[in-house]
Structure 1
Amino acid sequence: MSARILVVDDVPANVKLLEARLSAEYFDVMTASNGTEALAISRRAECDIILLDVMMPDMDGFEVCRRLKTDPATHHIPVVMVTALDSPADRNRGLEAGADDFLTKPVSDVVLIARVRSLTRLKMMTDELRMRAITSLEIGMQTPERSAVADTGKGGRILLVDDRESSYERLATILAAEHTIDVEPNPTEALFHAAEGNYDLLIVSLDLNNFDGLRLCSQARSLERTRHVPILAIADPENSTRLLRGLEIGVNDYLLRPIDKTELLARARTQIRRRRYTDHLRDNVQNSIEMAITDALTGLHNRRYMESHLATLAEQASIRGKPLALMILDIDYFKSINDNYGHDAGDDVLREFAVRVRKSIRGIDLACRYGGEEFVIVMPETDLHVAGMVAERLRRSIAGEPFAIHKGTKRIEVTISIGLTTLERKGEAVADVLKRADTALYRAKHDGRNRVVSQAA
Structure 2
Amino acid sequence: MTARVLIVDDIPTNVKLLEARLLAEYYDVVTANSGAKALSICQEQDIDIVLLDVMMPEMDGFEVCRRLKADPKTQHVPVLMITALDQTSDRVQGLDAGADDFLSKPVDDTQLLARVKSLVRLKSLTDELRARAQTSQQIAAEDALQAMNSISAKDGSILIVDTDRRHAERIAGYLQVEHRVDILTEPMDAVFQVAGGSYELALVSMSLKDFDPLRVCSQIRTVDQARGLPIILMADEADKPKVVRGLDLGINDYISRPVERSELMARVRTQIRRQRYADVLRDSVNSTIALAITDELTGLYNRRYFDRHMSLVMAKSLEQERDVAVMILDIDHFKSVNDNYGHDVGDAVIREFAARLRRNLRGVDMACRFGGEEFLVLMPDTDVRVAELVAERVREAVADRPFEVGLSRPISITISIGMALYENMDDTPEVIIKRADVALYRAKHAGRNRVMVDAA
Give the TM-score taking structure 2 as reference length: 0.68
- What SS class does the counterpart of residue 330 from structure 2 fall into? strand
2:300 aligns with 300
- What SS class does the counterpart of residue 155 from structure 2 fall into? coil
1:260 aligns with 260
Shift of 1:327: 0.3
1:214 aligns with 214
Residues 1:426 and 1:183: Cα distance change in structure 2 (over 3 Å): farther
1:432 aligns with 431
Return the letter of the residue paired with 1:168: A
Unpaired runs of 5+ residues, structure 2, are 1-132
Return the letter of the residue paired with 1:214: L
Equivalent residues in 2 for 1:330-349, closer than 5 Å: 330-349=330-349
Return the letter of the residue paired with 2:441: Y
1:447 aligns with 446
Shift of 1:176: 1.9
Equivalent residues in 2 for 1:348-427, closer than 5 Å: 348-406=348-406, 409-427=408-426
Distance 2:387 2:439 in 1: 14
Residues 1:353 and 1:139: Cα distance change in structure 2 (over 3 Å): farther
Indicate conservation of the 8 Å contact 1:395/1:415, yes or no: yes
Indicate conservation of the 8 Å contact 1:318/1:426, yes or no: yes
Shift of 1:222: 5.4
Equivalent residues in 2 for 1:68-83, closer than 5 Å: none
Shift of 1:292: 0.5
Indicate conservation of the 8 Å contact 2:420/2:435, yes or no: yes
Shift of 1:409: 4.1
Indicate conservation of the 8 Å contact 1:391/1:418, yes or no: yes
Residues 1:160 and 1:294: Cα distance change in structure 2 (over 3 Å): same
Q: What is the aligned-residue identity percentage? A: 48
Return the letter of the residue paired with 1:424: E
Shift of 1:135: 8.1
Query: Residue by residue, what CA displacement relative to the aligned partner does 1:409-432 show, whole Å, maximum 9, x if unpaired?
Result: 441010000001211333522211
Moved more, 334-343 or 253-262: 253-262
Shift of 1:445: 0.4
Equivalent residues in 2 for 1:253-292, closer than 5 Å: 253-292=253-292
Unpaired runs of 5+ residues, structure 1, are 1-132
Residues 1:137 and 1:403: Cα distance change in structure 2 (over 3 Å): farther
1:326 aligns with 326
Equivalent residues in 2 for 1:129-148, closer than 5 Å: 137=137, 143-148=143-148
Distance 2:225 2:151 in 1: 24
Shift of 1:189: 1.6
Return the letter of the residue paired with 1:294: T
- What SS class does the counterpart of residue 395 from structure 1 fall into? helix
Residues 1:141 and 1:321: Cα distance change in structure 2 (over 3 Å): farther
Return the letter of the residue paired with 1:324: V
Shift of 1:140: 7.6
Return the letter of the residue paired with 1:347: D
Residues 1:193 and 1:143: Cα distance change in structure 2 (over 3 Å): same
RMSD: 2.0
Shift of 1:139: 7.8
Distance 1:256 1:223 in 2: 27
Shift of 1:206: 1.5
Query: Residue by residue, what CA displacement relative to the aligned partner does 1:22-75 show, whole Å, maximum 9, x if unpaired?
Result: xxxxxxxxxxxxxxxxxxxxxxxxxxxxxxxxxxxxxxxxxxxxxxxxxxxxxx
Residues 1:146 and 1:332: Cα distance change in structure 2 (over 3 Å): same
Equivalent residues in 2 for 1:30-69, closer than 5 Å: none
1:186 aligns with 186
Shift of 1:284: 1.2
Structure with the larger RCO, 1 or 2 (CA within 8 Å, 6+ apart) = 1
Distance 1:400 1:277 in 2: 49
- What SS class does the counterpart of residue 275 from structure 1 fall into? helix
Residues 1:384 and 1:334: Cα distance change in structure 2 (over 3 Å): same
Indicate conservation of the 8 Å contact 1:301/1:368, yes or no: yes
Query: Residue by residue, what CA displacement relative to the aligned partner does 1:286-340 show, whole Å, maximum 9, x if unpaired?
Result: 1111101100000000011001111101111111111011100000011110000
1:159 aligns with 159
Indicate conservation of the 8 Å contact 1:158/1:202, yes or no: yes
Shift of 1:196: 3.8
Return the letter of the residue paired with 2:300: L
Query: Residue by residue, what CA displacement relative to the aligned partner does 1:128-187 show, whole Å, maximum 9, x if unpaired?
Result: xxxxx9886578897132131132311111121112111111222222221122222221
- What SS class does the counterpart of residue 168 from structure 1 fall into? helix
Indicate conservation of the 8 Å contact 1:395/1:451, yes or no: yes
2:226 aligns with 226
1:16 aligns with none
Matching of residue 204 in structure 1 with residue 196 in structure 2: no
Residues 1:139 and 1:244: Cα distance change in structure 2 (over 3 Å): closer
Distance 1:145 1:418 in 2: 48
Indicate conservation of the 8 Å contact 2:338/2:345, yes or no: yes
- What SS class does the counterpart of residue 411 from structure 1 fall into? coil
- What SS class does the counterpart of residue 412 from structure 1 fall into? coil
Indicate conservation of the 8 Å contact 1:135/1:288, yes or no: no
Distance 2:448 2:140 in 1: 39
Residues 1:401 and 1:140: Cα distance change in structure 2 (over 3 Å): farther
- What SS class does the counterpart of residue 351 from structure 1 fall into? helix
Distance 1:135 1:316 in 2: 39
Indicate conservation of the 8 Å contact 2:194/2:223, yes or no: no
Residues 1:181 and 1:296: Cα distance change in structure 2 (over 3 Å): same
User: In the comparison of the two structures, how many residue pairs are matched?
Assistant: 324
Distance 2:401 2:141 in 1: 36
1:170 aligns with 170
Bigger radius of gyration among the two? 2
